[in-house]
A and B are shown apart, each in its own frame.
Chain A
Amino acid sequence: MATAVSTPPDDRVTVSGDSHRAPAKRRGLRHVNWLGGGFAWVWLLVVMIPIYWIVITSFKTSGNFFDTNPFVPPTDPTLENYRLVIEADFIRYFANSVMVAAGTVIPAVLFSFMAGYAIIRGGPNSRFLRLSNSLFLMGLAIPLQAVIIPVYLIIIRLQMYDTLGAIILPSVAFAIPLSVLVLANFIRDVPKELFESMRMDGATEWGTLWNLAFPLTRPALVTVAIYQGLQSWNGFLLPLVLTTAPERRTLPLALWTFQGQYSVNVPAVLASVVLTTLPILILYAVGRRQLLSGLTAGFGK
């Protein structure tokens, strides 16, 4: 009980998975949470069973898929399904997705970082910057679906229909509001004495942006980049509406058409799911913390 008192007051939401925050909070005060604990394991099964099924089935042949128990791993795993998927031009779709994600994330994060910096540094003195900020906040409420028709019209008029650029431009725009919000919150936390001493040293705002704010904001930049990268990687509506040629497909669209062609060949369809998700899973294994905080970016406050 005594240790509980020493829990430091903390008014900031942290959503990373670390458990050192409130060490003694639960001990003694609460006993075992059987209901929560029981449900937690049930939920683990609910989550893992489909994932397990996807993975093992993708190594079965389309022939013995029907004869075997769905939960028993194949005795004779085959890479045939993966070969089929790769031969269906998935390398190209993969490259398209990489280009779209990179083409979206790099400008979106850089622009948002500059905007966040300007809003924090110049906002108090500038009505223009405050208005821009309000506009970005309002932008959080605009769903992409609702404006897809005018976006389509603009892309046609720009003669960009059926190019990867057509996907990138609106993606950048829709990544900006949340990115500005998160990055501005981060830049606001930089002690203002540091800005002051940069100014004393005669640094320009442009220099301060790169030499002070950039290194100090790096964790937030990575988080935002990962989050927006994931959004772009998984995006479906923009490629669906703005492209048509098979060689312009991104992975989610390719999955959809592949499933349309091979719906009877369940192992092959599942192999395509595994293959398109693999890069994200690897990223997740490497940068779990960043990704999790990225997924809840902006909602923590």
Chain B
Amino acid sequence: MTVAPPIRTPATAGGGRTGAVSWMVLPALLAFLAFGVVPLLGVVALSFTTWDGLGAINPSGLTSWRAVIADPALPHALGVTFLIMGLSWLFQTPLSILLGVFLAGRERYRGFLAVLYFIPLLLSSAALAITFKALLDPNFGLGAGLGAEFLSQDWLGQGNLALGVIVFVVSWQFIPFHSLIYQGGVRQIPVTLYEAAQIDGAGRWRQFFSITLPQLKYTIITSSTLMVVGSLTFFDLIFVLTAGGPGDATRVLAVEMYARGFQANLMGPASAIAVILVLVGLALALLLRRLGGRDQSASQLEGA
């Protein structure tokens, strides 16, 4: 694989030639416009209508928005969404960095470990949810089988425990993915930095906090963006594992949207929630990008 500098191909010939390639973008463009861009505009439009999912679609102004904003379910769903986002970030990030730094090493068996770590990534969210549901079942699961008191709690029947289970299952699946990103980041840190630090007498902890962590700044931002924005889309897992329950303890925005739209047949309010979902995602992505824009010294302070 050649590592060419990212210079674009210069104009190989006069203007007329671009027409010869332009049409090649059309199939992808049309497919994406029809099922990506049009629905994105459509969801905004639908949030100003009343529709039961079957009958006619009637424009109804701000009715859906008023209904959504007045309903305490919205702040609750936002709260749960951010809680799961925050907890899974807090749980995954240090562990992913730890594993990533370790996996960046050279021993052969690390490669072997990596092979096994990635198996959870291959499972579908539905399969994962079903497995953990069975595993944690208080009557038929592992706890009952082992006769272990601690394990046979009603994991999915209590709000706090169910949240914890979701965070754990998400981490179980995605920590390997993020540690792979960190592994790539660690391998790019120039060796000379560590050599210089060693000459200056810096210990391993000092090297980790003064070199590894600040040098990983952009990797941390990339990984965090994926974690945070990705956590907005944990629909499959939560839907199959808890369906938002017990009660509404794990009812995140995406589940709230599905419940309103496809279970209560209120497509207007569901569309309004979908718009909020998009806006939250964009806001978070921009915020994290802004964090990345700060100069290097800022992250060194954070690391210390």
**Which A residues lie at the B interface, using CB under 8 A?**
1, 4-5, 7, 9-15, 17-19, 21-27, 29-31, 33, 35-37, 39-40, 43-44, 46-48, 50-51, 53-54, 65-66, 68-71, 107, 110-112, 114-115, 117-126, 128-129, 132, 135-136, 139, 141-154, 169-170, 172-174, 176-177, 180, 188-192, 195-196, 199, 204-206, 209, 219, 230, 233-237, 241, 251-253, 255-256, 259, 264, 266, 269-270, 272-273, 276-277, 280-281, 284, 288, 291-292, 295-296, 299-300
A269 touches which one: B121, B130, B204, B282 (CB < 8 A)?
B130
- A206 and B232 CA atoms in complex are apart in Å by 41
The 5 closest A-B pairs by CB, nearest first: A36-B102, A150-B42, A173-B35, A234-B124, A70-B145
**Residues of the A chain whose Cβ atoms lie less than 8 Å from the Cβ of B126:** 234, 236, 252-253, 255-256
* Residues of chain A lying within 8 A (CB to CB) of residue B184: 13-15, 296, 300
Is B180 positioned at the interface, with any CB of A under 8 Å from its CB? yes
Given A19-B111, A47-B116, A269-B130, A129-B18 contact (CB < 8 Å): yes
Flag if A17 contacts B115 (CB, 8 Å). Answer: yes
Count chain B residues whose beta carbon lies closer than 8 angstroms to a beta carbon of A: 121
A142 vs B148: C-alpha distance when bound (angstroms)? 44
23 A-B residue pairings within 8 Å (CB atoms): A12-B3, A13-B187, A14-B187, A25-B106, A25-B194, A30-B194, A47-B117, A50-B132, A115-B28, A120-B9, A122-B21, A124-B10, A141-B282, A150-B38, A151-B35, A170-B35, A174-B36, A199-B12, A206-B20, A256-B130, A266-B137, A277-B123, A288-B115
Give chain B nearest CB distance to A103 CB in angstroms.
13
Q: Does B250 interact with chain A (Cβ within 8 Å)?
A: no
Q: State whether A33 and B4 are in contact (beta carbons under 8 Å apart), knowing that A15-B180, A50-B131 are contacts in the complex.
A: no
Query: Does the CB pair B180–A292 fall under 8 Å?
Result: yes
B137 to chain A minimum Cβ distance, whole angstroms, is 8
Cβ-based interface call for B166 (8 A): no
Whether B99 lies near A43 (C-beta < 8 A) is: yes
Say whether B95 faces chain A, with CB atoms less than 8 Å apart.
yes
User: How far is A299 from B31 in the complex, measured between Cα atoms in Å?
Assistant: 23
Which residues of A sit under 8 angstroms from B187, Cβ to Cβ? 13-14, 21-22, 25
> CB < 8 Å: which of B116, B181, B274 contacts A48?
B116
Is B287 located at the chain interface by the 8 A CB criterion? no
A36: which B residues are within 8 A, CB to CB? 98-99, 101-102
B89 touches A (CB below 8 Å): no
**A154 CA / B264 CA spacing, docked (Å):** 20
The answer on a CB contact under 8 Å between B8 and A124 is: yes
Distance between Cα atoms of A237 and B181 in the complex (Å)? 27
Check B31–A173 contact: CB distance below 8 A: yes
Contact of B91 with A by CB under 8 A: no
* B2 located at the interface, meaning its Cβ lies under 8 Å from any Cβ of chain A in the complex: yes
Q: Using A145-B274, A295-B118 as known contacts, list a sample of 6 further A-B pairs with CB atoms less than 8 Å apart, ordered by residue number in A.
A: A22-B187, A40-B103, A125-B15, A135-B32, A173-B35, A284-B119
- Indicate whether A135 sits within 8 Å of B115 (C-beta atoms), given known contacts A205-B20, A276-B124, A280-B122: no
Specify which chain A residues have a CB less than 8 angstroms from the CB of B115 in the assembled complex: 17, 288
A269 touches B124 (CB 8 A): no
